Structure 1
Amino acid sequence: MNTIVGTWLLRMKTPVGTIEAAYHFEEQDGVIHGSATGAGETTPLTDIVVHEDPTGQRVTWRQSITKPLRLNLAYDVIVHGDALSGESRAGRLPRTRVTGERSA
C-alpha cells in the first residue's frame, strides 16, 4: 500500500518565509497521481515515484509553479504514518526543508 495516498498539508521553510500548500495523492490502477494547491494556484505533480526505505516510504515528485515565482521543484520526502519530512529543491537554489501531516 502507498502510504502517501490522501491529502496532506505541507510546510516549506524558504528564504522568503514558510509557505503552506495542500497536496492530494491518489492511486488509480497502481499509478499514483497528485496535485498541489497553494498561493492561489493548483498544479499537477509529475514523475511521482514511491520506494520502500528502511526509515519509511520514500516518495519523490516534480512540480512546476508560477507563484510566488516561476520555479520547477523536485521533492524527496519520507512518509512516517501520518507525517512526512524531507526537502525540495528548485534548480540551483538551496534545498528547502519540507514537513507535513495528513489532513484527510
Structure 2
Amino acid sequence: MAGVDGEWDCITKSPLGEQKSVFTVKSDGGSFTGSNVGAQGALDVIDGKVDGNKLTWKMEMKVPMPMTLDCQATIDGDTLTGTVGAGAFGAFPMTGTRKA
C-alpha cells in the first residue's frame, strides 16, 4: 500500500480553470487519510479507500459553494490520474506527480 503514500502536486481541470493543489495520502491497509490543499483552502479526505494502486475518497467543499466531491485516482509509479466528481456539474480530470 505504501506505493500510494506521499505528497502529490496535482492539477484539476475545472470550469473555473486549472486548480493546483497538493494532495497528501497516508495509507493504512485498505484505507487512507490525507488532504488536498489549494488556493481555495484545505479539504480533508473522507472515507478514503485503497485497492491496490486505486484510491477512492470524498471531500466536503465549502467554496465557492457547499458540495460533496466524489474522487478517484490511480497511481502508476510517480504519476496520478483520476477524476473529481462534482455532482450535477460533472467530473473533472485530475493529474499529479509525486513530490520528491
TM-score (norm 1): 0.84
Asked if structure 2 preserves the Cα contact closer than 8 Å seen for 1:2 and 1:50, the reply is no
CA distance in 2, matches of 1:92, 1:40: 20
Q: Report the equivalent of 1:66.
A: 62
Shift of 1:70: 2.5
- Per-residue CA shift, 1:23-64, capped at 9, x if unaligned? 111235x45211121124222101111112xxxx11111001
Secondary structure of 1:68's counterpart equals coil
Q: Report the equivalent of 1:32.
A: 32
The match for 1:88 among 70, 84, 90 is 84
CA distance in 2, matches of 1:65, 1:47: 15
CA distance in 2, matches of 1:86, 1:40: 20
Shift of 1:67: 2.5
CA distance in 1, matches of 2:82, 2:71: 8
Percent sequence identity is: 27
Alignment gaps of 5+ in structure 1: none
Alignment gaps of 5+ in structure 2: none
Q: Which has the higher helix share?
A: 2
Counterpart amino acid of residue 4 in structure 2: I
Asked if structure 1 preserves the Cα contact closer than 8 Å seen for 2:27 and 2:50, the reply is no
TM-score (norm 2): 0.86
Counterpart amino acid of residue 16 in structure 1: L
Shift of 1:76: 1.0
- Is it true that 1:45 corresponds to 2:45 in the alignment? yes
Alpha-carbon RMSD across the aligned residues, in angstroms, is 1.6
Aligned residues: 99
